[in-house]
Every structure is written in structure tokens, then in C-alpha cells.
């Protein structure tokens, strides 16, 4: 008898991750002793600072190893509330904050709380690959807004207005963006806010790359632009990127009280609290001055500049200079090959691992991550240049 494979229908629309397939292949080759240069990383290549690790170890030794309140310990929520005020000019009382197992979890909770079956969710494309899948799992409808490198991959007001209809419930905004590195400025955010308020559209603002922003640009939280947009916005952030804490799984969100209460209910009956030990580590991180993320950002800016210089010398690649995050999204259409072919062949023939753009909505692009050392960037770029014949 064939095995019983009756999975829930909600999984029908969920795609396997192209990112994971390439990274798994790269890992396998590496384990076989191949000298693979990794341009695929989605996390900073720095260790979590010692003072954060020490706080976690101390909390284990002190027996802080039991359930905590679902939405996080008061000490941490107070610090997050202060952080929102100081960095983002946002007033979220601790009762308006939920700490979750990574920003990914915060985003998923938000969609589950707000998106009904058949509600449309606007996602600027290219996009971070989990957004559409989260909408699908919430049984909403994904509605992409295509952007262009001419506008630095940002949605224009005309784009936004054209794509709104009676079913539109939410816009997902990601600034600085993965994979394009685009950053929305004050004027652009004001216009987006004006339209979302007029049409009563919720905004999920994913600000996870807030601290990785270049050329002295200032990150702006859309929720800080007035009471009406504040009421409609769920601001999502976390410690993964800014403190190199991807494995600790601490993300958080702030929003209107009734939304946050709904999200607390979801978390009550799914994961409960994020790990008690990670919460204590997060307390140490948020209590410290901003030095770690400032240094991280400075280092990334050096790498971005180096990579941009190298890429500018390659005729078959064009790109928009990222203003934030740690990726360059590269147009490879002039190679005459699609992204999956380029990524697979670069891995097999030049031992460079990078992510094909199809998972981000563009199969004529590849994503190069510069979360790796300058030496590796140099070596990897030499290999790419040679593989392309630099013609």
C-alpha cells in the first residue's frame, strides 16, 4: 500500500526554498574538502559579543531556566520600549510589545493575527523569500508590486495606488531591504503612510536591518510619522543582525494594544515565551552602548565599497549600490543564463556559493552576501571574474 500522504491543503502553495538547496549543496562540497567561498550567508560573520554570552551563562547558573511570561520578561520589554523611543521615536509601552523567537516569528504572528482568508497582502518585489510563504500559510493572497532598479527597487506612489483594491489588507515594508539593500527616505515613507492611512491598510514594517545602514543615512520607522499610521503599523525588529545573535532567536514587535493582545494569544498557544536564557542575553545586549552594531556597520561599509568597486569592473553584471543590509543584488541577464544556472555553475565550476534570485522574485538576478571577510571577497570576486571571462 502506498504511504498515506494527506498533508493539509494550506501547504499546497508553499514552495521549497531555493536558498536552502544551494546552501546544502555548498555545505556538502565543503565537507568533501572543496575550497568553497561562501557568498550566500544571511547572517553576520561575527561572533556574538562575550558580554552577551556571559550574561546567558550567568542566567543558566542562576537557574533562570523556566517558563517566563509569554510575551517576554518585564526587564526586557522595558528595554525594548526604551529602544523604540530612543532609536525610532516610537512610543510603545511594554504592554504593546511581544518578544518572540526571532523576527521571523514576530512577522508570522503578525500575519496570523491580521490576515484573513482571501485578504490581499502587498509585497514589493524583489522580496525576502519568507514573506509570500507566510501570507500563504495565513491563507491570504500574495499581491506583488514589481519594482525596478531605476527606482532603487523601491515602490513608487503610483505603483502602490495602482495595486490597491477592495481586498487589500496589508503592506509589508522592509527597509533596509533584503535582498536589494534599498532604504526608504522620509519623503517616500510619508507618501506611503498617507496612502495607507487613506485606504486603511495595515503596514508590517520589518526593520531587522535598521543598524546596518550606510553613508550616514538615517533609518526611519514609518510608524513614527503620525498617530494614524502608528495605529496601523506593526513594527518588527530583533537582535539577530544588529548583535550577531541569529541562533539565539530573539525578535520583537510593537503595535496597537488590541493587535498585540491578539498576537499574545497566538503565542500563548504555540511557542509560549522565547527561551528564558536568550531573553537574559538580550537584556545584556540592549543595556550596552551601541558600539558593537556601529563597528559591525563600519566593517560592512568597507566590504560593500570593495565589492562595488570589483563589480563595477565586470561588464556582464550590473547592480544598484545597496544603502543598507549586507547583500548586493546583481543583474546577470547579460550572461544569457538564468540565475539558477549561474548559481549552480559558479558553485560547481568556480567554487563560489551565492543565492539565485528566483526565491526573491527575479530569476535574472543573483544575491551576493558580503557577510564574509575582505580576503574572501577578494578571492571570490577573482573567481567570478575569471569564470565570466570578464567579457
Ligand X SMILES: Cc1ncc(COP(=O)(O)O)c(C=O)c1O
CB 343 within 8 A of CB 300: no
State the residue number with the nearest CB to ligand X: 102
Nearer of residues 189 and 250 to ligand X, judged by Cβ:
250
- Would you give the distance in Å from CA 368 to the centre of its chain? 15
- Least CB distance from residue 120 to ligand X, whole Å? 20
- Tell me if the bond preceding 33 is cis, omega within 30° of 0: no
CB of 228 to ligand X, least distance (A): 25
In the complex with ligand X, which residue's Cβ is closer, 42 or 140? 42
Which residue reads 550596552 in cell numbers? 288
- Cβ closer to ligand X: 136 or 335? 136
Contact 208, 106 (CB under 8 A): no
How many secondary structure helices (H) and strands (E) does the chain include? 13, 13
- DSSP, collapsed to helix, strand or coil, labels residue 330 as strand
Measured distance CA(85)–CA(80) in Å, rounded: 9
Rounded CA gap, 71 and 98, in Å? 5
- Minimum distance from residue 247 beta carbon to ligand X (Å): 9
We find the least distance from the C-beta atom of residue 336 to ligand X, in angstroms, to be: 30
Please report, in angstroms and rounded to a whole number, the separation of the first and last CA atoms in the chain.
56
Instruction: Point out which residues bind ligand X (CB under 6 A).
Output: 42, 102-104, 128, 174, 178, 206, 208, 238, 240, 246, 251
**CA separation (Å) from 143 to 136, 170, 358?**
11, 10, 17
Of the two residues 277 and 337, which places its CB atom closer to ligand X in the complex? 277
For residues 160 and 125, give the distance between their C-alpha atoms in angstroms, rounded to a whole number.
12
* Residue placing its CB nearer to ligand X in the complex, 20 or 198: 20
CB of 335 to ligand X, least distance (A): 26
Nearer to ligand X, 324 or 335 (CB): 324
Closest to ligand X by CB, 184 vs 335, is: 184
d(CA 22, CA 123): 24
Q: Closer CB to ligand X, residue 172 or residue 197?
A: 172
Burial of 101 (0-12, 13-18, 19+ CB in 10 A): buried
Inter-CA distances, 69 with 74, 270, 277, 284, 312, Å: 8, 13, 13, 19, 51
C-beta separation of 70 from 267 below 8 A:
yes
Amino acid at each position: 500500500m502506498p504511504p498515506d500522504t494527506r498533508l493539509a491543503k494550506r501547504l499546497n502553495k508553499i514552495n521549497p526554498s531555493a536558498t536552502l538547496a544551494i546552501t546544502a549543496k555548498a555545505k556538502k562540497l565543503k565537507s568533501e574538502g572543496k575550497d568553497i567561498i561562501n557568498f550566500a550567508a544571511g547572517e553576520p560573520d561575527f561572533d556574538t559579543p562575550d558580554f552577551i554570552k556571559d550574561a546567558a551563562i550567568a542566567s543558566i547558573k542562576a537557574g533562570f531556566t523556566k517558563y517566563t511570561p509569554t510575551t517576554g520578561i518585564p526587564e526586557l520589554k522595558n528595554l525594548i520600549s526604551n529602544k523604540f523611543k530612543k532609536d525610532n521615536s516610537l512610543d510603545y509601552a511594554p504592554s504593546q510589545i511581544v518578544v518572540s523567537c526571532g523576527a521571523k516569528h514576530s512577522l508570522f504572528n503578525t500575519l496570523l493575527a491580521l490576515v484573513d482568508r482571501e485578504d490581499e497582502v502587498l509585497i514589493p518585489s524583489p522580496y525576502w523569500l519568507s514573506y509570500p510563504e507566510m501570507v500563504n500559510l495565513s491563507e491570504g493572497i500574495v499581491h506583488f508590486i514589481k519594482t525596478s532598479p531605476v527606482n532603487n527597487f523601491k515602490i513608487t506612489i503610483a505603483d502602490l495606488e495602482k495595486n490597491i483594491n477592495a481586498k487589500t489588507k496589508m503592506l509589508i515594508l522592509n527597509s533596509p531591504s533584503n535582498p536589494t539593500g534599498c532604504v526608504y527616505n522620509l519623503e517616500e515613507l510619508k507618501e506611503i503612510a498617507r496612502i495607507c492611512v487613506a485606504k486603511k491598510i495595515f503596514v508590517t514594517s520589518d526593520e531587522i536591518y535598521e543598524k546596518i545602514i550606510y553613508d550616514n543615512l538615517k533609518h526611519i520607522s514609518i510608524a513614527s510619522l503620525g498617530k494614524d499610521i502608528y495605529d496601523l503599523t506593526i513594527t518588527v525588529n530583533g537582535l539577530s543582525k544588529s548583535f550577531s545573535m541569529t541562533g539565539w532567536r530573539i525578535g520583537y514587535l510593537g503595535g496597537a494594544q488590541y493587535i498585540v493582545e491578539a498576537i499574545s494569544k497566538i503565542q500563548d498557544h504555540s511557542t509560549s515565551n522565547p527561551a528564558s536564557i536568550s531573553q537574559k542575553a538580550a537584556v545584556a545586549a540592549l543595556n550596552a552602548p551601541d558600539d558593537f552594531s556601529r563597528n559591525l556597520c563600519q566593517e560592512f561599509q568597507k566590504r560593500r565599497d570593495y565589492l562595488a568597486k570589483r563589480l563595477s569592473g565586470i561588464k556582464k553584471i550590473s547592480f544598484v549600490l545597496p544603502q543598507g543590509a549586507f547583500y548586493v543584488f546583481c543583474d546577470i541577464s547579460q550572461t544569457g543564463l538564468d540565475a539558477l544556472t549561474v548559481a549552480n555553475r559558479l558553485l560547481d565550476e568556480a567554487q563560489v556559493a551565492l543565492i539565485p534570485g528566483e526565491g526573491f522574485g527575479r530569476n535574472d538576478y543573483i544575491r551576493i552576501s558580503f557577510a564574509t571577510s575582505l580576503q574572501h571577497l577578494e578571492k571570490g570576486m577573482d573567481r567570478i571574474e575569471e569564470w565570466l571571462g570578464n567579457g
